[in-house]
Amino acid sequence: MPAQHGRQIVPPDDPSDLALAASLKRDHSPAELTELYSRSAMGASPVDARTRRAVWKALARRVGNGLKVGIGVTFRHPETFEIGNGVALGDYAILQGRIEGRCVIGHQVWIGPQCFFDARDLVIEDFVGWGPGAKVLGSTHTGIPAGVPIIQTDLEIKPVRVCAWADIGVNAVILPGVTVGKGAIVGAGAVVTRDVPPFAVVAGVPAEFLHWRGGYDTVESRA
């Protein structure tokens, strides 16, 4: 069966959709737009889907053509998000940005249902597949000093990078500070604690190298 999302041709957005987003941004505060979004978040009608797209365009730093926002998608600090063309946000995904943070989602990225993004300093490059339920964490408590509860210790924010063409398996977890290389595959349920080389296949808890993808050396030589 041929791939669908990754091979789609993304047409320009309908001018009426662009006009709606522009009017929402001009005439409503972010709080009002968030309230409007909440009223359409669970709707399955075309009108609800159009409203969700328009609010994202009005609130985010940048949104490309062809955004699809599933039912129940929630967010914080959408003003820190930059979203490319042909991006799909699956049902009940949670996208948690940070004040003065940055989240970049490249072209034709597919984000599966029930994902969680701790998007404090996150870049996902083009043509990445993100499996249902997979998570990324962008911060961790220092745990110092030991004489207080860990939850009271300072947060350390670390960047996470998922390079182009990579595929993140169902229920995988990407921990703070990790880079997943170009074209790498992270297996289902893996917990990625360190960088993954380009075109590697990793799996397990913690994730370990299994093998290289077939033909990766030929692809790398052309890069």
pLDDT per residue as tens digits for the range 112-125: 999 999 999 999 99
Instruction: Specify the 3-state DSSP secondary structure of 150.
Output: helix
Are 198 and 212 in contact, with CB atoms under 8 Å apart?
no
Confidence at 216, pLDDT banded by 50, 70, 90: low
Which residue is associated with the tokens 């995904």?
93
pTM value is 0.91
Q: How far apart are the first and last CA of the chain?
A: 28
> Does residue 5 carry a pLDDT above 60?
yes
> Does residue 223 carry a pLDDT above 60?
no
* Tokens, residue 187: 């297996």
CATH number, domain 65-213, options 2.60.120.260, 3.90.1150.10, 3.40.718.10, 2.160.10.10: 2.160.10.10
pLDDT of residue 3: 82
Question: Counting Cβ atoms within 10 Å, is residue 172 exposed (0-12), middle (13-18) or buried (19+)?
Answer: buried
Are 111 and 88 in contact, with CB atoms under 8 Å apart?
yes
Q: Hey, which residues does 180 pair with through a beta bridge?
A: 162, 196
Highest mean pLDDT among 1-5, 64-68, 217-221: 64-68
* Radius of gyration from C-alpha coordinates of the chain: 18
pLDDT of residue 136: 97
Q: What is the pLDDT of residues 150-205, one digit of tens each?
A: 999 998 999 999 999 999 999 999 999 999 999 999 999 999 999 999 999 999 99
Confidence at 4, pLDDT banded by 50, 70, 90: confident
pLDDT of residue 220: 55
> Does residue 218 carry a pLDDT above 60?
no
* Length of the chain as a residue count: 223
Confidence at 221, pLDDT banded by 50, 70, 90: very low
